[in-house]
Structure 1
């Protein structure tokens, strides 16, 4: 990928649906394809699990929730759905890529992004309309926009779809713990210093910090000091006031696996 990855080769828009299955048909794009898959029925708390299934052709890539210097993060809007109040898009651990022109976070092979749909009234009909936007890239980046629709209850006993969704959730990073995660050591207007802890070797750890809500960060820089693993992160931009929602998403990857968590807004 070169800096020209942000150039637009084409803007692909289509509506793909399957009203009688717990998954949609594939939406085909140059370099890959995408579909929506669900488990069919929500649980007692009204949570319906699904996934955005992204198949990439060899040599193509897509992005994490915050790519970094360049790229298009995957987005999913379920606001036109029936009996769905929200949808949470989750991300497996990404890889760091340096193509000589930019440094970014993402995936260089097919990936499934788990989704939790929140059903407003469990027991009543659900129709999912997902407006999906993502970038898939080779030497240039192609923005892919499609609308995926399905009635998850129409094939609620589809074992293959349920197994695929379960596997996608199993592949997510574990929740951060006091002995495996990241804490803030110090901060000012220009930079933040984090300490990473892991039961394994942290000398080659990777730390991914997502911006959003007005925040923007440079690529974290790893350093070992006094037996500690530290990451310094330059603050490129921040909002005038702290947002009211949860916090900043991060993922820490080590030889013992990956964990994700939330850090308080700075």
Structure 2
């Protein structure tokens, strides 16, 4: 009986199937005063893209920011220029949370985050040297600029590894969905200017699965658009209405404007991209 597991491992190797996945490679930590940064490798995707995570761990009580940081804060700035064999990069953001600052709301991550990145090699048969310089901010009561620099060697075609940290945050990346109902996910049914409130704003009609929930709505527009915290109200027909104040809009912005709507919720956060016809602002 003691020989069973070695024989099973050897048989799996001969058949070309790994018996146990190994832990994925990681870079060294780049340590700062209130945070640390490193890269985590994941298994190569079926498309040939390399899966990587940018992990930021912060001191207790500190936070960092999403791609759209809200009223205050600075989004991370990625510099991959020192890398080799990279044909393209796709940064995919986990659904953020909203936190209150002294005079408004900001959007980001508290304590820790792993930001997934898909790396397309120029030559998929050759290794990738991934070199990252990241400028970001970590904040408690005040914000402190931080810079991290690290690198990671990625071998091609590595599929027999596991990376629980990366995988858990990949699961939090919003799923793209089109405007309209979706049975198993929260969705935006309708989006328009809100004429029922004094302040200018947007009105969204949302559909939520019976066992689901929408916790918050984040809206992004091109340029200096700024939106308030969503006010959610359940309707008699089972739908959910979100009213969002427009705090600021770019001067002269009018006509078809592209927006990104991110619904943070369960069983899955979603992202919907659509255009709204915005009239000229009243003087």
TM-score (norm 2): 0.71
Higher relative contact order (CA 8 A, sep 6+): 1
- The match for 1:237 among 249, 253, 268 is 249
CA–CA separation in structure 1 for the residues paired with 2:274 and 2:150? 34
Maintained 8 Å contact 1:22/1:153: no
Which structure 2 residues correspond to residues 177-216 of structure 1 after superposition, within 5 A?
178-179=181-182, 180-187=186-193, 191-200=201-210, 205-211=215-221, 213-216=222-225
Instruction: Give distance in 2, aligned partners of 1:118 and 1:262.
Output: 25
Q: Match of 2:111, SS?
A: coil
Bigger Rg, structure 1 or 2 = 2
Q: Which runs of 4+ in 1 moved over 6 A?
A: 201-204, 239-242
The CA distance in 2 between the partners of 1:225 and 1:164, in whole Å, is 35
Do structure 1's residue 26 and structure 2's residue 29 form an aligned pair? yes
Task: Indicate whether 1:257 and 2:259 are aligned.
Answer: no
Name whichever of 106-115 and 21-30 sits farther off.
21-30
The 1:239/1:81 distance shift into structure 2, 3 A limit, reads farther
CA-based RMSD of the aligned residues comes to 3.1
Q: Which residue of 2 aligns with 1:143?
A: 145
User: Aligned partners of 1:106 and 1:137: how far apart in 2?
Assistant: 11
- Is 1:217 the counterpart of 2:226? The answer is yes
Match of 1:89 in 2: 91
Query: SS at 1:171's partner residue?
Result: coil
For the 8 Å contact 2:48–2:120, the answer to whether it is kept is: yes
The alpha-carbon deviation at position 217 of structure 1 amounts to: 2.2
Task: Determine if contact 1:222/1:231 at 8 Å carries over to the other structure.
Answer: yes
C-alpha distance in 2, partners of 1:56/1:70? 18
SS in 1 for 2:165: helix
Q: 1:155 to 1:59 in 2, by over 3 A?
A: farther
Hey, what's the Cα distance between the residues in 1 that align with 2:253 and 2:150? 36
Structure 2, unmatched stretches of 5+, are 1-23, 195-199, 277-283
Shift of 1:202: 8.1
Shift of 1:25: 0.8
In 2 relative to 1, CA 174–132 (structure 1 residues): closer, same or farther, beyond 3 Å? same
Tell me if structure 1 keeps the 8 A contact 2:126–2:156: no
2:116 & 2:190 partners in 1: Cα distance?
28
**CA distance in structure 2 between the partners assigned to 1:204 and 1:260 by the alignment:** 10
How far apart, in 1, do the equivalents of 2:123 and 2:157 lie?
A: 19
